[in-house]
Amino acid sequence: MAAEAKYSIIREVGRGNYGVVYEAIVNKTRSKVAVKRMQCNVPENAELALQEFWALQSIQRQHENVIQLEECVLQNGQAFQPISHRYRKSDSHLLLIETCLKGRRCMDPKSACFLWFVMEFCDGGNMNEYLLSRSPDAQLNNSFMQQLSSAVAFLHRNQIVHRDLKADNILISHKRGTAVSFRLVLQVADFGLSKVCRGKGNVNQHRFSSACGSNFYMAPEVWEGHYTAKADVFALGIIFWAMVERITFRDGDTEKELLGTYICQGKELIPLGEALLENPNLKLQIPLKNKKSMPDDLCKLLHDMLAFNPKKRLDAFQLEVRIRQISYGKKCQRSPS
Residues 170 and 106 in one domain: no
The predicted model gives 267-282 an average pLDDT of: 95
Residues 258 and 221 in one domain: yes
Q: What is the pTM of this model?
A: 0.88
Name the residue type at position 251.
D
Residue 213's region, left for phi above 0, alpha for psi from -120 to 50, else beta, is left
Q: Please say which residue of 100, 120, 140 terminates a domain.
A: 120
Domain CATH code at residue 43: 3.30.200.20
In this structure, is residue 333 part of a structural domain? no
In this structure, is residue 287 part of a structural domain? yes
Domain CATH code at residue 259: 1.10.510.10
What is the per-residue pLDDT across 250-265, written as a single tens digit (0 to 9) for each? 987 788 999 999 999 8
Residues 99 and 170 in one domain: no
In this structure, is residue 336 part of a structural domain? no
Residues 278 and 247 in one domain: yes
The answer on pLDDT for 198 being more than 90 is: no
What is the per-residue pLDDT across 79-116, written as a single tens digit (0 to 9) for each? 788 876 555 555 555 566 555 555 554 445 556 788 89
Query: Could you give the 3-state DSSP secondary structure of residue 330?
Result: coil
- Residue pair 60/69 in contact (Cβ under 8 Å)? The answer is yes
The per-residue pLDDT for 9 is 93
Vertex 271 angle, CA 151 and 298, to 5°: 50
Q: Which domain holds residue 84?
A: 2-120
Indicate if 304 belongs to the active site: no
The predicted model gives 224-241 an average pLDDT of: 97
Provide the pairing of β-strand 257-259 with 7-15.
Answer: unpaired
Q: Please say which residue of 120, 141, 163 terminates a domain.
A: 120
How many structural domains comprise the chain? 2
% of the chain exceeding 90 in pLDDT: 59
Out of 125-129, 141-145, 246-250, 253-257, pick the least confident.
Answer: 253-257
User: Burial level of 249, CB count in 10 A (0-12/13-18/19+)?
Assistant: middle
Residues 305 and 212 in one domain: yes
Residues 86 and 144 in one domain: no
% of the chain exceeding 70 in pLDDT: 85
Residues 96 and 151 in one domain: no
The answer on pLDDT for 267 being more than 50 is: yes
Q: Please say which residue of 72, 102, 120 terminates a domain.
A: 120
Query: Could you give the 3-state DSSP secondary structure of residue 104?
Result: coil
Residues 107 and 134 in one domain: no
Torsion angles phi and psi, residue 61, rounded to 5: 55, 45
Catalytic residue (one of 164, 168, 190, 315):
164
Q: Residue 67: which pLDDT band, with cuts at 50, 70 and 90?
A: very high
| Beta bridge mates, 15 | 20
Provide the pairing of β-strand 19-26 with 32-39.
Answer: antiparallel
